[in-house]
Amino acid sequence: MSHPAHSTLGQSSYPRLTRSLSAVESWGFGLTAHISWTALVPAIHAALGSQAIFVWIPAVIFGMLLNYQVKRLGMHFINVAGGTPNYATKLLQNYPRLACYAAIGYLLNWVSYLSVNTIVLKDLIKVNLDALGIAYPEILLNIGFTLLPFIVAFSGTRALSILHLFFVIPAFGLLMTFCIQGLGWLAFSDVSPGFFPSNWSSLSFVDWAKWFFFVTYATYSCETASSFVADSRQPSQTLRFLDVAAWMMPPIFLGGSWVMMRLATDSSLEDNAFLNLVAASQPFWGKSAAISVSFLLVAACLLGSATVVSNCPRILYQLALDKHISPVFSVVSRRGVFVPALTLTLVLCLIYLIWGDVARIVAVGNVGWFVSFMLLHLGLWLRRDRSEVLFPRISLAILLLEVVVLVVGGFAWGWLNLLIGLLFPIGVMGIDAVIRRVNFPPFHPSWWMRRYKSRPVVIIKDSVVLQVSILIFLLCSAVTVGWLFGVKLNKAASAGGENLFVVLLMTVAFVGVAIACWTSLPQVVAIAEAREAAEHLFTVAQDGILVVDDRGIIQQANPATESFFGVNPSELRGNHLNKWLTALISYPDEWTKRSEQTLLRNGKNKILEVSISDRPHQDFQEYVVIVHDITQRKQAEQILRYSEAQLRQEAKQLASQLVHSEKMSSLGQLVAGVAHEINNPVNFIYGNITYANQYIEDLLKLLELYQKNYPNPVTEIKEEIEAIDLNFLIADLPNLLTSMTVGVERITEIVLSLRNFSRLDEIEMKAVNIHEGIDNTLMILEHRFKAKSNSLTIQVIKEYGDLPLVECYAGQLNQVFMNLLANAIDALEEAVENGAWGAEKAALSPPEIHIYTELTSENQVVIRIVDNGTGIPEHLRKQLFEPFFTTKPVGKGTGLGLSISYQIITKKHLGQLQCISTPGQGTEFVIVIPLRQEAI
């Protein structure tokens, strides 16, 4: 059932509901079913008499169990809108067609409820208008009562929920009073007919099933609050109300039915709700019974209709969100209006209304409703191993009973009604299939999205004029309508006018709210949103915000002021601002609009930027003071002013380092190039030495054969043999070739070391063998270790630890090894030249360089390079790592080697480079770097 145009719309692109409803507002919708009892009880009472209580008892028990189960499902599906039917689709997700049927069947029953309410209200008004001799506008009333809740619903959810709550509280209170007071009157009144009936009539199973099927219309619908969990600000509180709704069922459905059974006993009342309720309440309410019952019936109808237009769009919305029906029904405006879903609900309501027969509407609507709960219980049994299922075995037992009730009770209400009720949800699913496939722009979510995002063409800037005009119009209309009805009532002068007054009062209230929703309410909501935004900004602002009066006394302060003044905002109120900002003396109208103030706090000065603006009101003058801490900015400005010379020096050092780095890079490229160029001829020579050795051996064998077969050569050959010393040549030639081979191999090793040292292919960090880098550096410097005419041989002693591969910049680390080893060699050579090593000392302790490596328990790699030279004095050691500092003669050093080495180790590798030296005992450089460079 997918539409090509909708395939690109992912679920994440659907608009989500805003959690705008309070828990109390969602509770009001959960009481609708309790009040609807007033419309149901006369019919079953007229049909069964005292036996009706045996239908209500199991229905109430099942309804209470259902409430507890729906509450558990709601806690599990906390973001699912629509309540019970959409929980059923989640439980039956492996059977999507069946799940969609269950939800649509539930929906159709609620829609039928609105149509029935319209007809009941119309009939109630007709009776009262006929008694007053006023013409009966049937079509107008049908259209008016049908459209009235939709007009409010099309304006937004909040207005409807508040209106509903306003009337549901007195209506529910009046109903509870009827039930409790009626039971008390039956039990304790002297004129009571008795609490229990004198005899009980028989009740067949067919009649029981027929009316059980009927009363579930109310007892199964007390879980309506769950439909509003997704847009409740406190979803857990909304679901907790289901417990309350469950325990309100016995006093109303059982207690109220018992009162009706004992007090409304006149058979002439038939199934008229108004007459039965008046007859039952008149013994203890007296003359106020008629007007109270009128209020209850009108409230039940209007509040039920309001619940329908609130509940049904959420069911369709969640079905679209779960991809059971067309995505267009998932569209919701920023004000919480489900326009496509409300439109479909209105169309279905009109279909019921055109039908016009209340009995058939209830029977047909209840079929889909009953099947929906059967499928819910089926889903609970199929998911019986899940934590959200409370009573799986009881759910199975109820399901089996409901199957029997559907067959027996459904046929009792008429096989045609049963068939239509079963097929109606399939028809709605067919309508959805048409919507998916017809290429009509309003059937696509994108069409609605564009309209919701566009700004209105006409923007009313002065809304006060509009509000006053609307108020005048409403007042004049109300006076006119009141005067006309007053004239009619005076002419009729008959009883029953007060009943019509109740209908008129509640209808006008709904109409007034509807008009306000489309006119003044958007302005009020905009003002409320602006106020909430301003309060939120006032609370979360990082700057201090204070409101002072015309004398400078603090009236309000936001939470951020505590970080400025060190005083709780509540303690600031009532004090003059100059208590903390001493420069702000006298009155705010004399203060500079923007200034810098000094605040002394905890012995430290803070520099604050203070901005002041006035906020005129009709009756008084206020000033808004915004305090911004600019201490750090001022300190930064001062640092910048005094650091120009230091920045120039650092720039000079940086330029020198860049030059040195460029030289090292060029040197590395030169070394790599030379190594590459040397490598080719060396490989050529090395490859031909083997063949030359073979050829010479062959020639020597041939010469040996000649000497053997011609032992007496001629005189000229003998003289040449003596001249070239043939025997020595034959003996020395293999040694010569061996020496050449060793030389070529040595050149190859040097070239490899040069290439490894340059590491041009390793400019990025990687794991390398540190020992290999040290060895390559030593090979390059090997010529400096050998003794010269005026020096001694420098011995290198390596004590390597067991190191794994180390993450580092290999080329730069080799540069550090080169600098430190070269400095050690320079120090030892200088000591030898200065006579620090005599013959006796050289025999005991020759010049040495020790290289140690180890891995610590903290995964730190330690490399120590130690020489036994003359050491470095303390006053020089402190400056070793400063740029351009050197102790070498001019021309022998730049003073950047150790500085750059320090930067490479500390900045690039996040390590440490230390120099430990004692004059006369040598110098030790310690390198510490992490084994892994995660932080870089």
pLDDT at 406: 92
Mean pLDDT confidence for 247-259? 93
Determine the Cα–Cα distance for residues 730 and 606; give it in Å rounded to an integer: 96
| pLDDT tier at 478, thresholds 50, 70, 90 | low
Chain segment 844-860, per-residue pLDDT in tens? 678 899 999 999 988 89
pLDDT at 670: 61
Q: Which of 29-43, 468-482, 689-703, 921-935 has the lowest mean pLDDT?
A: 468-482
Determine the Cα–Cα distance for residues 88 and 374; give it in Å rounded to an integer: 10
DSSP state string for 148-176: HHHHHHTT-HHHHHHHHHHHHHHHHHHHH
- Could you give the residue ranges of the DSSP H alpha helices within 803-869? 810-833, 839-844
Tell me if residue 608 falls in helix, strand or coil: strand
The tally of CA atoms less than 13 A away on the side-chain side of residue 465 is 3
Given a cut of 70, whether residue 468 has pLDDT beyond it is: no
Q: Which residue has the higher pLDDT, 242 or 715?
A: 242
Percent pLDDT > 90 in the chain is 20
Question: E-assigned strands of 733-824?
Answer: 766-768, 795-799, 806-808
Phi, psi of 576 (to 5 degrees): -75, 140
| pLDDT tier at 804, thresholds 50, 70, 90 | very high
Chain segment 861-914, per-residue pLDDT in tens? 999 999 988 888 888 887 787 766 676 665 555 566 787 788 888 888 889 999
pLDDT at 131: 62
Q: Which residue is associated with the tokens 């025997």?
A: 727
Given a cut of 70, whether residue 501 has pLDDT beyond it is: no
Q: Which of 5-9, 319-323, 509-513 has the lowest mean pLDDT?
A: 5-9
DSSP character at residue 71: H
pLDDT at 880: 80
Mean pLDDT confidence for 232-245? 91
pLDDT at 393: 92
Chain segment 348-394, per-residue pLDDT in tens? 888 887 876 667 787 888 898 899 999 999 999 999 999 889 889 99
Which of 581, 560, 562 is closest to 571 using CA atoms? 562
Given a cut of 60, whether residue 404 has pLDDT beyond it is: yes
Q: How far is CA 794 from CA 544, 754, 781, 871, 926, in A?
A: 71, 21, 11, 16, 20
Mean pLDDT confidence for 258-279? 84
- Could you give the residue ranges of the DSSP H alpha helices within 834-857? 839-844
The answer to whether 295 and 277 have CB atoms below 8 angstroms apart is: no
Given a cut of 90, whether residue 194 has pLDDT beyond it is: no
Determine the Cα–Cα distance for residues 351 and 347; give it in Å rounded to an integer: 6
Chain segment 550-576, per-residue pLDDT in tens? 888 888 888 888 778 888 888 888 888
Other CB atoms within 10 Å distance of the CB of residue 79 = 13
Given a cut of 70, whether residue 474 has pLDDT beyond it is: no
Given a cut of 50, whether residue 459 has pLDDT beyond it is: no
Determine the Cα–Cα distance for residues 779 and 754; give it in Å rounded to an integer: 9
| pLDDT tier at 515, thresholds 50, 70, 90 | low
885-907 exposure pattern, b = at least 16 Cβ within 10 A, e = fewer: ebbeeeeebbbbbbbbbbbbbee
pLDDT at 707: 78
Q: How far is CA 111 from CA 348, 362, 428, 531, 755, in A?
A: 7, 10, 12, 38, 85
Mean pLDDT confidence for 39-64? 89
pLDDT at 396: 93
Mean pLDDT confidence for 530-540? 68
Mean pLDDT confidence for 42-52? 85
Chain segment 806-843, per-residue pLDDT in tens? 998 887 888 888 889 988 888 888 888 877 776 656 66
Mean pLDDT taken over the chain: 79
What residues are paired with 21 via a beta bridge? 232
pLDDT at 5: 39
Given a cut of 90, whether residue 65 has pLDDT beyond it is: yes
The answer to whether 269 and 60 have CB atoms below 8 angstroms apart is: no
